Amino acid sequence: MGESLELTSRQMESWSASDIVLWALDHYGDGLWLASSFGAEDMVLIDLMCQKTPHPHIFTLDTGLLFPETYDLIKTVEERYRVSITRVVPELTLEEQKARFQDALWQQNPDLCCQLRKVMPLERFLQDKKAWITGIRRDQTTVRAASPIVGWDTRFQLVKINPLARWTYRDVFRYLVAHQVPYNPLHDQGYPSIGCVPCTRAIRPGEALRDGRWAEKEKTECGLHQ
C-alpha cells in the first residue's frame, strides 16, 4: 500500500485540492473523515467537501479549552452547510484532569495535556476509520515541509490525505474571500493559527505563522502530525 500511495501522491502534485477531495471520497466513502480545528485551512476543506457530498463526515477535537469564537464558528458551519459536526472529547473532564494531575496542566506539562486532550481521543476515534483529511500545509513548519499529499499514517494506521499541502496562507484566504466562506474572526486579530485558549496568542511583527502556539516553549506541535 505504501508504494501505491507514494505514486498516487506524486501524481497528485498537479491536481487541484477539489480533485483530491473528490478522489478521497470516491476511494474511502463513509470511511473518510475530515479533521477540523476550524482554522482557515479547515474552512476551505469543509467548503470543498460540502460541494462534493451532501453528507460529509467532519469531526473536531473538543478539548474544552477552545476559544468562544471557535465554538461560535462550529455552530455557524452546522447551520450554513446543514451538517452535524462530531465532537471528539477527552476521557477526562478539565476538573478530573486537574484532580488527577495538577491545575493548568498545559502550563507545566503541555505535552501531557495535548496527549490527554487531543492525541488519545484521536487515537480512539480513528480506530475504525479508513482515511482522514487534514489541513496541513508544507509552509506551516519545518516538520510539515515534507508532508505528502496522500500517504500511510503509521501512527494512527490509516490513510492520511492533505489536499492543501501545496497551498500557502495567502492561497487559503484567497479562496475564503472568493467563495465567501466564513472563518474565525481571530484570524483578523493576528491569530493565523488557533488552538486552545491557554496555549495560543496573537503573533508579533516578524514572527512565523505558528509562533503564537505554545509561545516561549520549545513545543511546536500538539503531537497529531509528528
Q: How far apart are CA 55 and CA 52, in angstroms?
A: 9
Residues 6+ apart with CB under 8 A from 220: 141, 143, 210, 213, 214
Domain ranges of the chain: 2-199
50 noted as active-site residue: no
Is residue 50 annotated as involved in ligand binding? no
Active-site residue, from 222, 223, 224, 225: 222
User: Domain 2-199: which topology?
Assistant: Rossmann fold (3.40.50)
pLDDT tens, residue by residue, 116-141: 999 999 999 999 999 999 999 998 87
**Which pTM does this prediction carry?**
0.92
Q: What is the mean pLDDT of the chain?
A: 92
pLDDT above 70: residue 220: no
Is residue 199 annotated as involved in ligand binding? yes
